[in-house]
Amino acid sequence: MDHSLIRIPTLLALATLTAASPVPKWPTGSFRRGTTYNTSSRITWGPCPDSLSFPSNVTCATYTVPLDWDNPTSNETIELGMVRLEARDTSNRIGNLFMNPGGPGGQATDLVASIALEPEAVDQRILDSFDLIGLDPRGVGLSTPVRCDVAAYNRRVSSFPTTQAEYDDLVAYNKALGESCREKTGRLIDFVDTISAARDHEAVRVALGDEKVSLLGLSYGTQLFSQYAELFPDNIRALVLDGNLQHSQSESSNLLIEAETYETTLKYFFAWCANATDECPLAGQDVQAKHESVLAKALTSPIPAPGCDDVQCRTDVTAEDVRFALQGYLISVTAWPSMGQALVEADRGNATLVSQQLGLATGDAYRDSGLFAGTAIACQDWAHDSTSLADVQAKAQLGATFTPLTGGACQSYKIQTSCIGWPAALTNPPRPVSYRGPTTLLMANSLYDPSTSYAWALGLHAEIGDDRSVLLTRNGAGHTSYLNNGETTAALNAYLLDLTLPEPGTVFDT
């Protein structure tokens, strides 16, 4: 369930839009202690610092909130960083549209700033009608970031231990990384759970004028905004959940559900590539055999990645690396030709394109926060009860049995193994969403999503209820649908603009 920053290619190319370390200051506001969500506190917008390289048509702000929402009168606070792209037609403005691109750890500020640079990426009526708000969740991006030791993060360790020594090394890695995060971040490391982030969004909603809010959550953003909806059901004008997480399954169920959707989409890629003409370098060939050849070579000995320098990406890849990397490649079908090329080159002994999918921490606070906070948030949100080599091996056996092509390698597996020994407690454990608001929510999911399974979408839809949500299905591949600009996007925009809902059971091909 790769919940990372997901965009169409034009926006994905702008992923290096900013470099902010340390994060500079700009106009601020603050939550007033002793109140719940103070309606007299306001956010003041101003120019973004030059060091961020954001386009001039977005404005920036920070807002101070309690570190611990259960103890809001404490003197401990954090800052939330955000950007705004104002509605172009102010006379017909609908309101604020909060956007979250996924993760956990995805920078919402980057997404909105990227849209400002590439406005053709979204429906022009959305840009006319809404102030687009990119609020980075606590620990991420321009908000007070999670900071960790770069070397500790980048140290290579296997998530699939086969010996006690390898398991002990994995746990030691997790503990050392977590301890470095606590040392560099402080007590924030204990308060980056999604419930706290949802409360932050409510505080900002109120500070922006206390109007009902529209929300667009992609991938992990569906968890963030569905939990927001449970907490603040009466404050929602419209809510789109695209590429859905079901935050209520058991550990083994999550592993099986995500690994199977990854494997199913991988097979879909094999068929597409084999039948492609000029689009895929492996057209007309046995693509699955090429995939298996790469894995076999990487299993024998790591494949060199000469285009990497162990700073931006590793100089070789293991079979485990290949499996995790290809899930990322499958996220956008526009990257599938590159994935075919990556397999061709890796089979020839150059795994640079594979390694580039698994970036390293580099010391840039803004970018690295996506990696560090991604782990910290996941460990406070998702169960990780393994305590022994036998426990981890049983999970690996589950994946190897039911998903032999991918071996069970997926983000759910990575989270469950990365959180063993993590110093912060599980404070937002999995449980069903209970939404009782008056607004009908619109959900969307593709059938061949390599990260967020259609099974999760069906499960979350059942939790919210047929009377309070409509599930829109895209009969296609790729993770999330909103930025694809197809029929599904048009239906989501119609809902955002005038609250028009598709008929239940609607299926689109694009």
Strands 130-135 and 95-100: parallel
Residue 20 pLDDT > 70, yes or no?
no
CB proximity list for 492: less than 8 A, separation 6 or greater: 216, 240, 242, 442, 444, 472, 481, 482
- Separation CA 303–CA 305 (nearest Å): 7
pLDDT band at 39 (very low <50, low <70, confident <90, very high): low
For the cut 50, the answer to whether the pLDDT of residue 16 exceeds it is: no
DSSP state of 500: P
Average pLDDT over residues 87-93: 96
- Give the amino acid at 438: P
The confidence score (pLDDT) of residue 150 equals 98
Predicted confidence band at 7 (pLDDT cuts at 50, 70, 90)?
very low
Query: What does the angle CA 115 – CA 215 – CA 47 come to, to the nearest 5 degrees?
Result: 45
Mean pLDDT along residues 175-198: 98
Instruction: Report the first-to-last Cα separation within the chain, whole angstroms.
Output: 22
Phi, psi of 24 (to 5 degrees): -75, 175
Q: Which letter does DSSP use for residue 308 in this model?
A: -
pTM: 0.93
Q: Exposure pattern of 315-347 as b/e (b: 16+ CB <10 Å)?
A: bbbbbbbbbbbbbbbbbbbebbbbbbebbbbbb
Token code pair at residue 145: 């970031």
Confidence of residue 28 (pLDDT cuts 50, 70, 90): low
Other residues' Cβ atoms within 10 Å of the Cβ of residue 306:
12
